[in-house]
Structure 1
C-alpha cells in the first residue's frame, strides 16, 4: 500500500497540533504516512512513530531577525515544502493537505498533483477566512484563490457541519465533494477542579469575529452588577486587522482591576497555567463557521465554556462540552447574563460537568477514529 502523504506549512499553535494529531491518528489506524511539515513546536510527537517518515522544511522566523532574513527563511520553507510535496508524487498518489502555503505558491503544485492522477483530500479549517488578507477592492482576487484551491481538491473535509454551507454558497463547491470529519482532541493535561477564582479566559488570536471587545465590555457590566469576575485576554494580534487589538487594550485600560491583557504568542506551558487558573473560557463568537481549536482545548482540559453556539462549537456542546450557551443574536446583555448565570451555578457542579465532558469529547474526537475516516476516503 502506498503511503498517505500529509502536507502542511503549520508547525505551532492549534493548526500545527492538528496536523500532528492527524498523522498520529493515521498511523494508529494502520496507515503508512509521509509527513511533510516543519518540525513541530514545542515538540514533534510524530518523530517517534515507526510508520511515519518525516520531511522537515526549515521553519520561517516568527520573532526577531531582519526583514531580509525573515523573507529568506519563509521562501526557503515554501520551496523546501512544495519541492518535497511534488517529489512525493513518485512514491504515492494519496495526499492530505492541511493549511497550505499562500495561494500564489500552493495552487500550481496542487494542480499538478491532480493532473497526474493523484487524489487530494483538502482539510478545510476555515471555509471563509476569519479576516481577509487583501483590501476590499482586491477581495475578488482572494476569493478566486480560495475557489482555485477548492477546485484542486478531490474531496474537501470540513471540521463541523457548519462548514458545509459557506463552501456551497460562496464557492459553488458540489455538496457531494464535502465530507464532515470532526476536529481531534488535543492532548492537553486535565486542569483539575474549577478553582472558583472568579477568573475567565479569552484565548487565541484576538480577532473581531471572536468579539473579544464585547466579552470585555460584558465583564465590566457583570462587575457593575455585583459579580467580582475578572478576565485574562491572552493571544496575538490579528495581522489582517491590527487595530482591533488597540480597541481591546483601550477597554482594558478602563478596568485595570478586572481586565488583564497578555499579548503575543502564548507558549504551551503558559496555556496550561491559564487553563488551571480560570473557571471557564468566554467565547461570544459570531460570523464563525469553522471548528474552534480553543473550545476543543477547553473541553479536553476539563474547563467549561460560556459560548455562543457558533460553527463547530455547537457540535462540541452536543458531544458533551460543558457550557452556558450565550443566546443569539449575541449582544452585550446576553453575554453579561450568561456570565452571571455561570457564576450562579456552584463550582462543584461545573467541575463534575466539565470532567464528564472531557471523557465524552475524548471518545468522540479520538484521533485513531479520525485517521481511519480520512484513510477510507482513498478507498
Structure 2
C-alpha cells in the first residue's frame, strides 16, 4: 500500500498492540499485586493497556503511566459490615461487567482475564466477549480448586462447571510448568494453547540484612496445603533438638473453606507458647516489608501445591532465603539457584525440623550473601517488563 506521495506503507506496522486486562482483585498483595504489576509490565513493553480493576490498596500502584488506561469498579471495604459489603460485591460485579462491555465496544479485542468474579458472572463475561468477537487469554492460577463445595455425588458436575471457562477462551496462561502438567492431567483433551509465563518478582528497593535472630516467617493464606500445622510442630521439634531461640511468625488470613483447619492452627499456636507468634488477618503493605526485615528466612512446607509461589518470589525480592519443599513452581526456583534449605517430602514435623536445623547449621553471612546475589539475578530474569513482553507475544499470536 502507498500513501499520497507514493511511498510504500506497512499497514499497522506502527500501531501498538492494544489489550484489556481484567481482575476483581484489589489488595496490593497476592493476586491483586500480580494484576497491577502485570498491567504496568505490559505498558513498559509498549502495549496500550486498559486495566480494569478496583482501586488498589497501595496508592503507588495507581500512579499514572504512559500507555496505561485505568477503569475502576467498586470493591468491598474491610470492616464495612456484611450487608454493606454484599451491596459493594454486587456493585463490583455489575460495574465490572459494564466496564468490560465499554472496553469491548470501545475497540478492545484482546482480553487478559485473571481472578474473575464468581463463576456464574465470570461465565457471562467470557460468553459476552466470545460472542462479540473478543480474543481471550485466561490466567489459571490454580488448576484445581482448593476445596469442592457440592456433595461428593455431584463432584463430576462441579468439576465440569469448573472447566467451562476453558471452552470459552482462546489461550491459557499458567505461572509454572507443574501447573501446566496438572492442568493437562485434569483436562487431557484441551485444544487451546497453554503457555507458561512466569510470575514476576516482587522486589523491595533496599533489602534489610538478615538479623540472625532465628526468626522465621510463614506468610500467606493459611490453608491446609501450605503445611501450617507441620510448620508449627516442626519448629517445636527443632527447638527441642537444638535449644536454639527459634521463633515462628505466622501471618495471614484463613481460607473461607477451611474454618476447621484455622481452628487447629490457633490451638497449635497456643500450645507452642513463645515459639509461635500467630496473627490471623490481612497484612497491609506498610507492615509487610518490616515483617520480612525481622526474619532470617521464609518457611514454606507446601503440600499438594501446583502453581508458582508469590511468597517465594516475595522472599527473593527482599533478599531472603527460604526453607521450603519442592512443590509447584518452587522446585523451578530451587533449580535456578534460589537459596533454600529443602524440606524433604512427604512434609511432616520431622522433615520441617530437619530443614530448619540444616538452615541453622549454615552461617547467616552465607545465606545473606547468596540471597542478595540471587535477588540481583532475579531482577532481570523475572522483571515485569519481560513478563509483559511475553504476554504481548502471546496476544499477537491470537490477533
Q: TM-score, normalised by structure 2?
A: 0.91
**What does 1:82-97 align with in structure 2 at a 5 Å threshold?**
82-90=97-105, 91-97=107-113
SS at match of 1:201: strand
The whole-number CA distance in structure 2 between the counterparts of 1:179 and 1:48 is 30
What is the alpha-carbon distance in structure 1 between the residues aligned to residue 43 and residue 385 of structure 2? 8
Name the residue aligned to 1:251.
268
User: What does 1:36-185 correspond to in 2, within 5 Å?
Assistant: 36-43=52-59, 45-61=61-77, 63-90=78-105, 91-172=107-188, 174=190, 177-185=193-201
Match of 2:374 in 1: 357
* Larger CA Rg, structure 1 vs 2: 2
Alignment correspondent of 1:270: 287
Distance in 2, matches of 1:363 and 1:176, equals 30
Q: Is the 8 A contact 1:47 1:54 kept in 2?
A: no
Shift of 1:3: 2.1
Q: Which residue of 2 aligns with 1:11?
A: 26
Retained in 1: the 8 A contact 2:203–2:316?
Answer: no
Moved more, 281-290 or 167-176: 167-176
1:173 CA drift (Å): 5.0
SS at match of 2:128: helix
Write the distance in 2 (CA, Å) between the matches of 1:282 and 1:23.
29
Per-residue deviation, residues 287-320 of structure 1 (Å, max 9, x unmatched): 0001111111011100000000100111222233
The equivalent residue for 2:314 is 297
8 Å CA contact 1:19–1:98 kept in 2: the answer is yes
The question of whether the paired residues in 2 share the 8 Å contact of 1:23 and 1:46 is answered with no
Preserved CA contact (<8 Å) 1:190 1:302: no
Question: Partner residue of 1:208?
Answer: 224
Please list the CA deviations of residues 113-172 of structure 1 after superposition, one character each: whole Å capped at 9, or x if unmatched. 122322101111111123335554554444223211122221100000001122122133
Report the CA distance shift for 1:23/1:132 in structure 2 as closer, same or farther (over 3 A).
same
Deviation at 1:181, TM superposition (A): 0.4
Which of 309, 320, 323 aligns to 2:340? It is: 323
**Contact 1:280/1:305 (CA < 8 Å) preserved in 2?**
yes
**Cα displacement string for residues 69-98 of structure 1 (whole angstroms, at most 9, x for unaligned residues):** 111100000010111112211211100001
d(CA) in 1 for partners of 2:310 and 2:18?
27
Tell me the TM-score normalised to structure 1 length: 0.96
Q: Specify the SS of the correspondent of 1:257.
A: helix
Deviates more, 1:226-235 or 1:33-42: 226-235
Name structure 1 gaps, 5 residues minimum. none
Structure 2 partner of 1:281: 298
Contact 1:298 1:305 in 2 (8 A): yes
Unaligned runs of 5+ in 2: 1-14
CA distances 1:22-55 after superposition (whole Å, capped 9, x unpaired): 1111101101011100001122524410211111
| Conserved? CA contact 1:223–1:229, under 8 Å | yes
**Residue 217 (structure 1) aligned to one of 228, 233, 251:** 233
Give 2:10's aligned residue: none
Q: 1:9: how far off?
A: 0.3
Q: CA RMSD in A?
A: 1.6
Residues 187 and 172 of structure 1: CA distance in aligned 2, closer, same or farther (over 3 Å) = same
The match for 2:365 among 335, 348, 354 is: 348
CA contact (8 A) 1:189 1:272 kept: no
Query: Is residue 309 from structure 1 mapped to residue 309 from structure 2 by the alignment?
Result: no
Given that residues 140 and 174 in structure 2 are in contact (C-alpha distance below 8 angstroms), is that contact kept between their aligned partners in structure 1? yes
Give, in angstroms, the shift of residue 65 of structure 1.
2.7
Aligned residues: 378
